């Protein structure tokens, strides 16, 4: 089987993001969304799903996502899901919700939501990546086995067996646990975390780096090292806070700091631990 082949026949595309009324006061989020918006980097999430739909040749999904009112439709779907998640919550101005935007090969858009803990804007849009003593880092483990890169690792899909397997191998039993595992490919190149993009400090490579993906491949094959191009990752690169750079797991040392990011939690500090 080619490493570019998706081995699971039935899946949807998705992207997860945070909803919080406090985001409407964020100048950075307003720039990304084109107007005050309670959804974290909403436009970037649409863009990443669209890029994946192009890759898989899902023309109906591409048409839906490229429609002039696509962002409005996505926001309506997300707000309906948020309203359902909030239910009987009294103070709706001081909450956060995890929202999952899902699109099928035929272009059907749906959204799911559940309550989460509030995340400060400083974690969503940090001004620095210098670790501070006020942060308690997550234990971060290198997977004990390699993961074969496929289009199911390069793009965000509902086919996630490879990520679940990696979490099980290092005994992460719940998504409520503040732990992460980093996947690496058969050549030893770092790919990403099971639910995050990853950033390592490499002084000889210019500072904080993140492994290449299909949109910014350094290996010259247009596929990167096997991981996804996340929304927070995109923002960090655009802001010049990180740069694309590949590294092997043999370069990663127990005890070193690593930043983790996703569209729900923003930036989380991690520290490499031994399994």
Specify the pLDDT at position 47.
Answer: 97
Greatest distance between any 2 Cα atoms in the chain: 53
| Residue among 215, 101, 220 nearest 155 (CA) | 215
Specify the pLDDT at position 4.
Answer: 46
Report the chain's mean pLDDT, rounded to a whole number: 93
Dig out the tokens for 27 from the structure. 């100048």
Contacts of 37 (CB under 8 A, 6+ apart): 23, 24, 29, 30, 75
Dig out the tokens for 235 from the structure. 């923002």
The β-bridge relationship of strands 207-210 and 96-103 is: unpaired
Q: Is the pLDDT of residue 217 over 90?
A: no
Exposed, middle or buried, 75 (CB in 10 Å: 0-12/13-18/19+)? buried
Write the pLDDT tens digit of every residue in 14-70.
999 999 999 999 999 999 999 999 999 999 999 999 999 999 999 999 999 999 999
Tell me how far apart the alpha carbons of residues 151 and 158 are, in angstroms, rounded to a whole number: 12
Q: Is 164 helix (H, G, I), strand (E, B) or coil?
A: helix
CA 227-269-252 angle, 5° bins: 60
Q: Is the pLDDT of residue 179 over 90?
A: yes
pLDDT top residue among 90 and 77: 77
Total-model pTM: 0.94
Write the pLDDT tens digit of every residue in 135-174.
999 999 999 999 999 999 999 999 999 999 999 999 999 9
Tell me how far apart the alpha carbons of residues 206 and 199 are, in angstroms, rounded to a whole number: 12
Q: Is the pLDDT of residue 7 over 70?
A: no
| Residue among 207, 229, 235 nearest 216 (CA) | 229
Specify the pLDDT at position 105.
Answer: 98
Write the pLDDT tens digit of every residue in 80-112.
999 999 987 877 777 899 999 999 999 999 999
CB atoms within 10 A of CB 89: 12
pLDDT top residue among 221 and 265: 265
Q: Is the pLDDT of residue 123 over 90?
A: yes
- Where exactly does CATH 3.20.10.10 map onto the chain? 138-273
| Residue among 118, 121, 101, 116 nearest 28 (CA) | 121
H-only helix segments in the chain: 27-33, 42-56, 59-66, 70-86, 121-124, 151-154, 161-169, 231-238
Specify the pLDDT at position 28.
Answer: 98
Helix, strand, coil shares, percent, the chain, to 5: 30, 25, 45
Specify the pLDDT at position 121.
Answer: 95
> How much of the chain, in percent, has pLDDT values that exceed 90?
86
Helix axes 70-86, 59-66, angle to 10 degrees: 90
- The CATH T-level fold of domain 138-273 is D-amino Acid Aminotransferase; Chain A, domain 2 (3.20.10)
Q: How confident is the model at residue 3 (pLDDT cuts 50, 70, 90)?
A: very low
CA distances from 43 to 21, 23, 123, 217, 274 (A): 17, 14, 19, 23, 38
């Amino acid at each position: 089987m080619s490493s570019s082949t998706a081995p699971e026949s039935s899946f949807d595309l998705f992207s997860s993001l945070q909803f919080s009324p406090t985001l409407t006061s964020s100048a950075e989020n307003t720039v990304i969304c084109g107007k005050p918006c309670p959804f974290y980097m909403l436009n970037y999430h649409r863009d990443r799903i669209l890029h994946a739909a192009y890759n898989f040749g899902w023309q109906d999904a591409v048409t839906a996502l490229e429609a002039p009112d696509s962002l409005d439709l996505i926001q309506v779907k997300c707000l309906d899901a948020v309203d359902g998640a909030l239910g009987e919550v009294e103070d709706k101005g001081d909450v956060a919700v995890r929202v999952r935007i899902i699109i099928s090969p035929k272009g059907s858009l749906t959204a799911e939501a559940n309550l989460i803990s509030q995340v400060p804007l400083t974690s969503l849009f940090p001004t620095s990546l210098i670790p501070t003593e006020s942060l308690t880092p997550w234990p971060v483990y290198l997977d004990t086995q390699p993961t074969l890169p496929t289009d199911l690792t390069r793009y965000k899909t509902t086919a996630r067996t490879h990520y679940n397997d990696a979490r099980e191998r290092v005994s992460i039993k719940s998504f409520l646990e503040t732990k992460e595992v980093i996947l690496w490919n058969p050549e030893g190149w770092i790919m990403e975390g099971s639910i995050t993009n990853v950033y390592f400090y490499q002084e000889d490579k210019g500072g904080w780096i993140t492994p290449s993906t299909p949109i910014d491949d350094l290996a010259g094959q247009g596929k990167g090292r096997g991981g996804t191009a996340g929304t927070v990752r995109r923002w960090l690169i655009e802001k010049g806070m990180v740069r694309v750079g590949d590294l092997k797991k043999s370069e990663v040392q127990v005890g070193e700091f690593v930043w983790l990011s996703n569209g729900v939690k923003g930036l989380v500090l991690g520290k490499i631990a031994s399994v």
